[in-house]
Structure 1
Amino acid sequence: MLHNLLLVAHIAVLGYWLGSELVINSTFRYVCYSGGMPVAERSRLMDHVMEVDQHVRYALVLQFGLGLALAMRLGWLPGGVAGAWAAGVFAVAWLALVELTHRRRHAPLGARLAALDRGLRYGVMAGLVGVAVAGLAGLLITPAWIAWKLLVFAGVMACGVGIRFALIEWFASWRALLEAGGGEAHEAALRRGYWRATGILIGLWVLIGVIVLLSLARPA
């Protein structure tokens, strides 16, 4: 019964994730292509984008925790029930860090929390790749499609990190525009930044599509 609930939640979170991404990207595009809009209004919309972006962060952590717990409960990864509960506790702690990082982003502590969150993401990505390679090499008893899912999910996380770096560059262009008081060169830089981040986002969702196909086909 519990694993059925986890499976439903795992699927629902995917829709939650996609919906959040669509809202973010459409609003982000509107900001980047609205050079005639008052700066205060554009800034307010970008604040909204960053608020909604929290839901994407929640979704990634939830997918990781739910997927890991399911795989352990069903015997596809070692750990069993105890491991599944541990994955759940880890995901809750990570969610708390994500929320605290967002709430303290303008405080001195915010930079340290953000660095801790990035370090955690790098560690999780390395762990996913390590387990996936071990499974594919026969060093770990796990279905090949699960190993591939872990590897591709690490790629999804890498795309997420890439989007963060693209946004850092975008905000640098945004600050330059504010300091200059406008200008077509600065507006063009914002639009280039939008397409850079969107290109990575498209790659991210291609990888999520691969994960869905692996889950449905379960190739040997």
Structure 2
Amino acid sequence: MNEYLLLKFAHILAFVYWLGGDLGTFLASQQVINRDNAPESRHVALKIMLACDMGPKLAMPLILPLGVHMAAIMGTLPLSGMALALIWGLCLYWFTVVLVLYLNEGKPFTAILSRLDFWFRIAFASGLAAWAIYTFITPDYGTQWAAIKLLVFVAMVGCGVLIRVNLAPFVPAFGDLMANGPTDANNSAMERSIGRCRPWVWCIWAGLFFNAAMGLHLFG
């Protein structure tokens, strides 16, 4: 089996775990904020939600280098070996940070690492957007097809950042629920927080569908 087919296989798996994990997270979140569920049941639903969320969280930093590597092989994104290695290195760093944060939840150092991860994603997405725009307007450098897929990925990373911002009020509200029981205040805070995340989740799904269609050359 050649290198390209192995990359394609891994790329498809990353897509499956991203979209499937996102769907599981979305459905579990509805049970977390369901006022009819007991706090213990909502706590179990939260654990399921966080476990499902690891699918997309780990798939996101892998799907990019896999796709870029395939594009380099096809010649749609001409890259040197060093440039390709840099992309893989940055994405594997991102992947490792996500895993470390999940496995060390609640430890003091994770607060700092989480903030660093937040700003890393913004910086990384900004650099990727600049590269994609340059590729789009410079035909000799790469194809507009590849540039569009990169820009869609940047938009999905941006949606993920906005989800994190909108989830911030959820954490103290859920903590209050578990400590003091359900109240209108903590229930409403969680519902608002999850509700504000939904449009960005739907945008991520649209981006995944669009890039999958582009990858299959249904258009573009």
Normalising to structure 2: TM-score of the pair? Answer: 0.88
In the TM superposition, residue 185 of structure 1 has moved relative to its aligned partner by 4.3
Superposed CA offset, 1:91-118 (max 9, x none): 3332222111222231111011112211
Amino acid at match of 2:58: Y
Matched with 1:116 is 116
CA contact (8 A) 2:4 2:70 kept: yes
Give the CA RMSD over aligned residues. 2.1
Residues 162 and 200, structure 1, Cα contact 8 Å, conserved in 2:
yes
Cα contact 2:129–2:150 (8 A) shared by 1: yes
Are 1:73 and 1:80, in contact at CA under 8 Å, matched by a contact in 2?
no
Structure 2 gap ranges (5+): none
Alignment of 1:32-111 (within 5 A): 32-33=33-34, 35-111=35-111
- Identity among equivalent positions (%) equals 24
Partner Cα distance (1:97, 1:187) in 2: 31
Partner of 1:24: 25
Structure 1 Cα separation of the partners of residues 140 and 129 of structure 2: 13
Q: CA deviation at 1:18?
A: 1.1
Deviations 1:52-100 (A, max 9, x none): 2122110101111211222222222232445434433433332222111
Whether contact under 8 Å (2:39, 2:181) holds in the other structure is no
Q: Is the 8 A contact 1:73 1:81 kept in 2?
A: no
- After superposition, the Cα gap between the structure-2 partners of 1:90 and 1:189, relative to the gap in structure 1 and judged at 3 Å, is closer
* Alignment-mate amino acid for residue 90 of structure 1: L
Read off the aligned partner of 1:32 and give its amino acid letter.
I
CA distance in 1, matches of 2:142, 2:153: 16
In 1, Cα distance between equivalents of 2:112 and 2:139: 37
> Closer, same or farther in 2 for the Cα pair 1:83/1:3, shift >3 Å?
farther
Q: Compute the TM-score of the two structures, normalised by the length of structure 1.
A: 0.88
Q: Which amino acid aligns with 1:7?
A: K
Q: Which stretch has the larger CA shift, 56-65 or 174-183? A: 174-183
Query: Matched residues in 2 for 1:207 and 1:37: separation?
Result: 33
Q: 1:107 to 1:186 in 2, by over 3 A?
A: closer
Contact 1:70/1:84, CA 8 A, preserved across alignment: no
Q: Determine helix, strand or coil for the equivalent of 1:105.
A: coil
Match for 2:6: what amino acid? L
Alignment of 1:1-220 (within 5 A): 1-33=2-34, 35-138=35-138, 141-178=141-178, 181-215=181-215, 216-217=217-218, 219=220
Q: Residues 176 and 140 of structure 1: is their aligned pair in 2 closer, same or farther, counting only changes over 3 Å?
A: farther
Q: Work out the CA distance in 2 between the residues paired with 1:7 and 1:84.
A: 16
SS of 2:106's equivalent?
coil
2:10 partner letter: A
Amino acid in structure 2 at the alignment position of 1:43? H
Q: Does the 8 Å CA contact 2:72/2:78 hold for their aligned counterparts?
A: yes
Amino acid at match of 1:2: E
Does structure 2 retain, via aligned residues, the 8 Å contact 1:14–1:63?
yes
Question: 1:166, 1:196 within 8 Å by CA — same for their partners in 2?
Answer: yes
Unaligned runs of 5+ in 1: none
